[in-house]
Amino acid sequence: MELKLTIKESGSIRLYSVDFPEMKDFLKVYIFYSEPAFKVAAHPHIVLDEFHNMMRRAAEEIAPFIASRVEGDPVLVHVLRAGPGYHLHDALSEALDLREVFIRTQYVLNTYMDHRAVREIKVTYQDFSQLRRGDITVIKPDTEATGGTGEKVLERIKIESEIRDCNLRKLILYGYISKEGLLRIARKASSIGFEEVMAIALIDIPHLSSNMYDMPAFGPDLSLWREKKEIRFLGSITDVEIFKKLLMEYVPGVDQPGDFSERQKLLYDGYSWRRGEVEFHLRKSEEAIMTALETGTLTEQQKKIAENEIKAIWSILERIRRT
C-alpha cells in the first residue's frame, strides 16, 4: 500500500492519495488534512457550537474539490442522525444544485426464535422524494466504523434508484472512516452497480479497536484492556506530518470521532429535533482517557496531554451545568 502527497489545482487543501491494490481501478481514496477536523479528532472536549463551526470550516475547504468530481445530478444522503453534523450539505449547496435525501438506520434486537438477541440494522425512516431519473453521484457524509450502516444505506439507495430509473455513477464518501468500513462499503457499492467510489477520509484511516466501534489514530486498544487487561497497539494510515501533529495533541487509544451524534447541538431523526446528549459523550471520553492512563503505556508527554484534555472536558461540563 502506497501513501503519497497529491497536489490539487483546486486550492490549497492538503490531500494524500492512498492506493488499495485490491480495488485499484474502482476505489480512489484520499486522506484530507484539515486543521478544524484535526482539532475535532484530537480533542473530544470540542462540542456544540465550536464543534459545528469546525466541521463547517472543514466542509467548506473540501467542497470545491468534491463539486468538481460530480458526474450527473448530485444527490446528498443525510444519514440521520450523525451525517448532517459534517455540514457538507451547507458547503456544497453554494456550488451545486443538490438533491437531498434522508435515511435513518438503527440497531434492533431480533429475538424471534432465538434468545441470543442478534442485533440487526433496520431502516426506521427515509425520504427519497427528491431523487430524479438520470445519472447520479451519491454523496454520503458520515462516520464509517464497521461499514454496516453504510451497507444498509446503499442497499436502500439501490432499491429507490431502480424505482426512479436512476443510474448509479459515482459514490463519494466523506468523514472519519476506518479501513474496515471503507473496504466493506466499497465492495457493496461495486456489487450494486456503482461505477466508481471516491472516499475522502478525515485525518487518517484507522483500524477498528476490538469493540468494533472505536477508531483510534494510534495507541492501545482500550476495549481489549478493559475486558482482558491485555495490551495491543493499533495504528492507522496517515502521513508522517499528520502523525507528528497527533503526537503533540492526541491521547493515544481514544476514539477520534467519539460519539459524533451526541457532540452536536441539535439532532434530527426524521420526525423531530432533540438536543444531543453532550454530557454522555464527554463522560465517555473522560472514561476513555482514564483507561488510556491506566494501561501504563503513555509517555510523560502523553500523560500531560491526557490530563489537559480531562481538564478541558471538566470545564465544558461545568459550563453546561451553568446554562
- Measured in degrees and rounded to the nearest 5, phi and psi for residue 304 equal -65, -40
Q: What is the pLDDT of residue 3?
A: 55
The answer to whether residues 46 and 87 belong to one domain is yes
Asked which of 206, 237, 256 is the last residue of a domain, the reply is 206
Q: Please report, in tens digits, the pLDDT of each residue of the chain (323 residues total).
A: 555 555 454 467 889 999 888 898 899 999 999 999 999 999 999 999 999 999 999 999 999 999 999 999 999 999 999 999 999 999 999 899 999 999 999 988 664 444 444 678 999 999 999 999 999 999 999 999 999 999 999 999 999 999 999 999 999 999 999 999 999 999 999 999 999 999 999 999 999 999 999 999 999 999 999 999 999 999 999 999 999 999 999 999 999 999 999 999 999 999 999 999 999 999 999 999 999 999 999 999 999 999 999 999 999 999 999 98
The answer to whether residues 184 and 57 belong to one domain is yes
Residue 213 within any structural domain of the chain: no
The answer to whether residues 246 and 103 belong to one domain is no
Residue 56 within any structural domain of the chain: yes
CA distance 256 to 273: 25
Residue 205 corresponds to which amino acid?
I
The answer to whether residues 72 and 143 belong to one domain is yes
The answer to whether residues 27 and 152 belong to one domain is yes
Cell of 90: 451547507
- Measured in degrees and rounded to the nearest 5, phi and psi for residue 288 equal -65, -40
Residue 307 belongs to domain spanning: 219-322
Residue 85 within any structural domain of the chain: yes
Residue 19 within any structural domain of the chain: yes
Asked which of 151, 179, 206 is the last residue of a domain, the reply is 206
Residue 174 within any structural domain of the chain: yes
Residue 214 within any structural domain of the chain: no
The answer to whether residues 107 and 243 belong to one domain is no
The answer to whether residues 229 and 82 belong to one domain is no
The answer to whether residues 49 and 101 belong to one domain is yes
The answer to whether residues 201 and 225 belong to one domain is no
The answer to whether residues 108 and 240 belong to one domain is no
Number of structural domains the chain divides into: 2
Using an 8 Å Cβ cutoff, are 135 and 169 in contact? Answer: yes
CATH number, domain of 99, equals 3.40.50.2020
Using an 8 Å Cβ cutoff, are 46 and 264 in contact? Answer: no
CA distance 20 to 26: 10
Q: What is the pLDDT of residue 14?
A: 87
Residue 92 within any structural domain of the chain: yes
CA distance 196 to 57: 27
Threshold 0.85, pTM exceeds: yes
The answer to whether residues 248 and 274 belong to one domain is yes
Residue 212 within any structural domain of the chain: no
Furthest-apart CA pair in the chain: how many Å? 59
The answer to whether residues 98 and 236 belong to one domain is no
Asked which of 151, 171, 206 is the last residue of a domain, the reply is 206
For every residue of the chain, which 3-state class applies, written as one string? CCEEEECCCCCCCEEEEECCHHHCCCEEEEEEECHHHHHHHHCCCCCHHHHHHHHHHHHHHHHHHHHCCCCCEEEEEEEECCHHHHCHHHHHCCCCCCEEEEEEEEEEEECCCCCCCEEEEEEEEEECCCCCCEEEEEEEECCECCCHHHHHHHHHHHHHHHHCCEEEEEEEEEECECHHHHHHHHHHHHHCCCCEEEEEEECCEECCCCCCCCCCCCEECHHHHHHHCCCCEECEECCHHHHHHHHHHCCCCCCCCCCCCCCCCEEECCCCEEECCHHHHHHHHHHHHHHHHHCCCCCHHHHHHHHHHHHHHHHHHHHHHHC
Cell of 12: 490549497
